[in-house]
Amino acid sequence: MPTEASSPSISKEIKTVSGITVRLCGDSGDGMQLLGTQLTNTSALAGNDIATFPDFPAEIRAPRGTRAGVSGFQVQFASHEVHTPGDSLDALVAMNPAALVTNLADLVKGGLLIVNEDSFEDKDLKLAKLKVNPLDEPAMENYRLVKVPMTKLTKLAVAEFGMSTKEADRSKNFFAMGLVYWLYGRNMDATLRFIHGKFGEGKSVVAQANEKALRAGWAFGETIEALGTSYQVDAATVLKPGTYRNIIGNQAMAWGLLAAAQRSGKEVFYASYPITPASDILHELCKFKNFGVCTFQAEDEIAAMCSAIGASYGGQMAVTTSSGPGIALKTEAMGLALMLELPLLVIDVQRGGPSTGLPTKTEQSDLMQVMFGRNGEAPLPVLAAQSPADCFEIVQEAWMLATQLMLPVIVLSDGFIANGSEPWLIPDVSKLTPIPIVHPTESNNPDGAFMPYKRNELLARPWAIPGTEGLMHRVGGLEKEDGTGNISYDPDNHQKMVQIRAQKVANAAKLLPPQQVIGPQSGELLVLSWGGTYGSCLTAVQKAQEQGLSVALAHIRHLNPFPSNLGEIISRYHQVLIPELNMGQLRTLIRSRYLVDAVGYNKIKGKPFTVTELLEKITEMARTGNRIAQRTAS
């Protein structure tokens, strides 16, 4: 283990700031995601509130040095509460010209720009399709440019280990990391533990080289004159007391499934087919076989969905996950699950569409698909997570609904929150409440055959499972007679069953809390948002409120059914704004349901909202509203 002080003190001026947004970008093989994750964890351990945004190409290794291959990781860490990874960058680290030119626009004027100057040679410029070196452009005067010969310095730093040039070059991201750590006074302990854990204890040359590069980067910051100031971001004091850890959305989803299983006395049967950006849930869950988790990588999306149906019929907690294209494939089987009235979870981690679309980019464009994308009258409950940590909560809520109502429940996440992370207050497991499940052991019809579709007050049917004597029954996709479950083509029965299935979904509202509003309970403008845009919308609304504008936020986590008080809330505001990363899917639902002339703010760029653009729209609408109100009054 390292004996050197892991984070030597800083001798230069230290300036305290309340928050920093930094983006690290380079080739997809440069280890930028690793660098970003380490900076995030280290900042979280320093007690900062954090929000992250990894952004990487769909190609595993796009040609080196090209714009297509640029991978980035953005993190905002602050001593105040943060809900977004930040709009604009205080600092940008660019490992090559392609990374520089594709990210520079987000760096604030006067911002710190650190580049690896060794990778700005003619061949690098050519790969980035640049005729002139951007470092020589006059525009560079707008930034505090620090050119660092990272490749050379890393090579020198690790020379003692006798590695090849190529091998030595792999430690370069740790050099960059050391420099960034110095810049923000970050403690290197956690990263040193990571290095030695991942690359081998003690004698591993790779581990030693990476540590050396990290320390060399730190020392470089301490030495060069170009960097006169180091910044300090104090621990956030706004967080609720307790023990925290950093959690990524997909990880929170997987852990939430484990918690839901424990609460209901079940084990997780998880079936899926690999798809970006949902696969990490599979990767996470397959580690937990000792929790009794059974993961099944099916031959296709349809088989994943269908095997979940089989597992649910058998009495297990069945889950399948996918993204938009896979959900499209599961559609018919989701209709079957609805018809069989079996509890299971379908998780859709949305990405840019249509078709293959933008696999690694975020979007909210599957709402209509999960609401209506099935043949026949086929409503299902739809819940949407609002942040990485919320994935943990929402999936448990979904399982509660599924089991109490006996139907499949859809959970929406998206690429932004699936890969993003935030601090998570670790719950006390002993305080988790049970999710009650009853499998009948006796017939509900003593005078005749068991009635698999005899319902309780919530319209849920009994979850009788194979192996139970006397309760043998057949379920299927054909319309069935209420009560007996026998095939029925009777016209009145069909209408009745369609209405029952719709009412069952509507009954979910009885099991869910009412909608909350952040801000004034009535007034000029209500911002209605859902899903992963929560952080940006909340921040924008708070900023508008600070400006004295009459603006409130209602962030909807339960999209079908809508919370019972939503219509009443909407009626208390003059205007409604619905920002979405789609063409207005929630807006269409809200307009048709509540007959309100809601306005949309729609962005379909594969990127999350910036607070700035939302604030602009909110300000415009709130001010216009005020002017109209004043005119009408005078």
Partner 1 sequence: MSTVLPVLKADDFTSDQDIRWCPGCGDYSILAQMKKVLPEIGVPPEKTVFISGIGCSSRFPYYVNTYGIHSIHGRAPAVATGLKLTRPDLSVWVITGDGDSLSIGGNHFIHLLRRNVDLNIVMFNNRIYGLTKGQYSPTSVEGQITKSTPMGVVDHPINPISLAVGAEATFIARSVDSNIKHLASTLKRAAAHKGTSFVEVYQNCNVFNDGAFSYAQDKATRDDTTIELEHGKPMIFGKNKDRGLRLNGLSVEIVNLEDGKVKEDDLLFHDEKATSTLVYMLSRLRRPDFPEPIGVFRDVITETFEEAVLGQIKESIEQRGRGNLQKLFNSGETWKVGA
Binding test (CB under 8 A) with partner 1, winner from 244, 399, 416, 601: 244
Binding test (CB under 8 A) with partner 1, winner from 245, 283, 439, 605: 245
Binding test (CB under 8 A) with partner 1, winner from 149, 427, 523, 584: 427
Using left for φ > 0, alpha for ψ between -120 and 50, and beta otherwise, residue 181 falls in alpha
380 touches 408 (CB < 8 A): yes
Binding test (CB under 8 A) with partner 1, winner from 64, 288, 328, 567: 288
Question: Looking at 290-298, 515-523, 542-550, 623-631, which segment touches partner 1 (CB under 8 A)?
Answer: 290-298
CB of residue 486 to partner 1, shortest distance in Å: 7
Residue 491 CB partners (closer than 8 Å, separation 6+)? none
Q: Distances in Å between the alpha carbon of 165 and those of 153, 160, 162, 177, 505?
A: 12, 12, 9, 20, 62
* 253 in contact with partner 1 (CB under 8 A): no
Would you call 504 helix, strand, or coil by DSSP?
Answer: helix
- Pairwise CA distance, residues 412 & 177, whole Å: 34
**Binders of partner 1 in range 103-162 (CB under 8 A):** none
Structure tokens at 346: 């379908």
CB of residue 481 to partner 1, shortest distance in Å: 11
Question: Looking at 211-219, 284-292, 382-390, 399-407, which segment touches partner 1 (CB under 8 A)?
Answer: 284-292
Residue 184 CB partners (closer than 8 Å, separation 6+)? 20, 22, 43, 77, 230, 231, 232, 233
Residue 630 CB partners (closer than 8 Å, separation 6+)? none
- Pairwise CA distance, residues 82 & 577, whole Å: 22
340-379 mask for partner 1 (x: CB under 8 A)?
x---------------------------------------
- Pairwise CA distance, residues 253 & 405, whole Å: 21
Binding test (CB under 8 A) with partner 1, winner from 145, 239, 458, 500: 239
Binding test (CB under 8 A) with partner 1, winner from 3, 9, 290, 630: 290
Would you call 201 helix, strand, or coil by DSSP?
Answer: coil
**β-bridge partners, 421:** 248
Structure tokens at 287: 């580690």
447-486 mask for partner 1 (x: CB under 8 A)?
--x---------------xxxxxxxxxxxxxx-------x
Q: Positive or negative, the Cα torsion across 261, 262, 267, 268?
A: positive
CB of residue 338 to partner 1, shortest distance in Å: 12
* 309 in contact with partner 1 (CB under 8 A): yes
CB of residue 297 to partner 1, shortest distance in Å: 11
**Binders of partner 1 in range 154-213 (CB under 8 A):** 190
CB of residue 4 to partner 1, shortest distance in Å: 20
Question: Looking at 8-16, 142-150, 330-338, 567-575, which segment touches partner 1 (CB under 8 A)?
Answer: 330-338
Question: Looking at 207-215, 425-433, 493-501, 619-627, which segment touches partner 1 (CB under 8 A)?
Answer: 425-433
484-503 mask for partner 1 (x: CB under 8 A)?
--xx----------------
Question: Looking at 206-214, 383-391, 423-431, 557-565, which segment touches partner 1 (CB under 8 A)?
Answer: 423-431
What is the 3-state secondary structure of 376-423? CCCCCCEEECCCCCHHHHHHHHHHHHHHHHCCEEEEEEEHHHHHCEEE
Structure tokens at 180: 């960034």
Amino acid at residue number 151: T
**Binders of partner 1 in range 68-87 (CB under 8 A):** none
| Residue 115 or 305 with smaller CB distance to partner 1 | 305
123 touches 156 (CB < 8 A): no
User: Roughly how many angstroms between the first and final C-alpha of the chain, as a whole number?
Assistant: 76
Do you know the residue count of the chain?
634
CB of residue 83 to partner 1, shortest distance in Å: 17
CB of residue 484 to partner 1, shortest distance in Å: 10
| Residue 409 or 596 with smaller CB distance to partner 1 | 409
| Residue 273 or 601 with smaller CB distance to partner 1 | 273
- Pairwise CA distance, residues 616 & 122, whole Å: 42
* 439 in contact with partner 1 (CB under 8 A): no
**Binders of partner 1 in range 14-43 (CB under 8 A):** 41
CB of residue 515 to partner 1, shortest distance in Å: 29
CB of residue 371 to partner 1, shortest distance in Å: 21
* 426 in contact with partner 1 (CB under 8 A): yes
The neighbour count for residue 184, using CB atoms within 10 Å, is 22
* 243 in contact with partner 1 (CB under 8 A): yes
Question: Looking at 287-295, 556-564, 578-586, 623-631, which segment touches partner 1 (CB under 8 A)?
Answer: 287-295
Would you call 83 helix, strand, or coil by DSSP?
Answer: coil
For the CA atoms of the chain, what is the radius of gyration?
Answer: 27
CB of residue 296 to partner 1, shortest distance in Å: 6
Binding test (CB under 8 A) with partner 1, winner from 2, 29, 47, 185: 47
Q: Distances in Å between the alpha carbon of 283 and those of 197, 223, 271, 327?
A: 20, 42, 12, 19
CB of residue 290 to partner 1, shortest distance in Å: 4
Question: Looking at 163-171, 244-252, 492-500, 503-511, which segment touches partner 1 (CB under 8 A)?
Answer: 244-252
| Residue 209 or 260 with smaller CB distance to partner 1 | 260
- Pairwise CA distance, residues 294 & 246, whole Å: 26
159 touches 138 (CB < 8 A): no
CB of residue 467 to partner 1, shortest distance in Å: 6
CB of residue 488 to partner 1, shortest distance in Å: 12
Question: Looking at 6-14, 119-127, 223-231, 282-290, which segment touches partner 1 (CB under 8 A)?
Answer: 282-290
| Residue 127 or 464 with smaller CB distance to partner 1 | 464
CB of residue 492 to partner 1, shortest distance in Å: 21
Burial annotation 585-610 (CB, 10 A radius, 16+ → b, else e): bbbbbbbeebebebebbebeebbbbb
